Amino acid sequence: MQDSLPKTMPAALKRKPGRAALAGLSLFLLSSCAGAHVSNIASVSTTTPAPSEILVAVDTAPMPNADQTRAAAAVAPQLQAAVVRRLGKAHIAAIPYTAGSARPGAAVLHVSIQQADPGSRAERFLIGFGMGSAKLEARADLETTLPSAHSSLTAFDTASDTGIKPGLILPGGIALATGNLIHLAIGGGIDVVTNLNGGLSKPTNSTATAIVKQLHRYYRSAGWVWPTDEES
């Protein structure tokens, strides 16, 4: 059974698991869940007031192949809606950007999708541990529409993927050793639906969350009011 496991699997997981190993599986799953990573942050100080509203525009950079081009085109409106929704939950006035929608005092949040790799559902489902991960990378730029102010207030990159949860090969191997497939699949925390159908949905939601969190940090640094801060 051990010889059938992927070579990339940690050696400790190839051995016949005891109770400690099985108990640690859930902890491993929890520790493998991570949100989008934010990097390359560039911000300028400003004395202008906070934007009266944020117009969210999402487009796509050229992709290296047809699969990523299709994936990016599908993700763009989903990411736009997710960012608008999260800003709205923070009580920040936000709407999707359309031609002619800019009004005095508004800012434009321009998000450009740099990579949209759907990965391999089969590898995520059967192997996991990062194999076949879907990956989403984007560049966000908050731009003021005030003619007297610097056009770009803060810009940053985000990167997210579907994580490193184990697939069915691992719990299947453990189940044969213990004779308890259903208990391990459910009690062990194996998220079959997410592994099979998740695609870019998880990275999209993680990216939207990271973008709004980084905007929150910029608001604080600029001395602007973030409405939910006052409510807490």
Q: What are the pLDDT tens digits along the chain (232 aa)? A: 444 434 444 443 344 444 433 333 333 333 334 578 999 999 998 888 999 999 999 999 999 999 899 999 999 999 999 999 999 999 999 999 988 777 888 999 999 999 998 865 544 444 444 455 678 999 999 998 876 666 899 999 999 886 555 444 554 444 444 444 444 444 444 444 433 334 788 889 999 999 999 999 999 999 999 998 876 5
Q: Which pairing describes strands 152-161 and 37-43: parallel, antiparallel, or unpaired?
A: antiparallel
CA distance 60 to 115: 8
* Amino acid identity, position 87: L
Give the separation between CA 140 and CA 57, rounded to whole angstroms. 10
pTM, 2 dp: 0.69
The correct answer on CATH 1.10.287 for the domain covering 21-43+50-224 is no
Upper half-sphere CA count for residue 195 (Cβ side, 13 Å)? 23
Query: What's the pLDDT score for residue 204?
Result: 93
- 3 state SS for the chain: CHHHCCCCCCHHHHCCCCHHHHHHHHHHHHHCCCCCEEEEEEECCCCCCCCCCEEEEEEECCCCCHHHHHHHHHHHHHHHHHHHHHHHHCCCCEEECCCCCCCCCCEEEEEEEEEEECCCHHHHHHCECCCCCCEEEEEEEEEECCCCCCCEEEEEEEEEECCCCECCHHHHHHHHHHCCHHHHHHHCCCCHHHHHHCCCHHHHHHHHHHHHHHHHHHHHHHCCCCHHHHHC
Q: What is the pLDDT of residue 21?
A: 36
The four Cα atoms 196, 206, 144, 106 give a dihedral, to 10 degrees, of 80
How would you list the strands of the sheet with 107-117, edge to edge? 37-43, 152-161, 135-144, 107-117, 54-60, 94-96
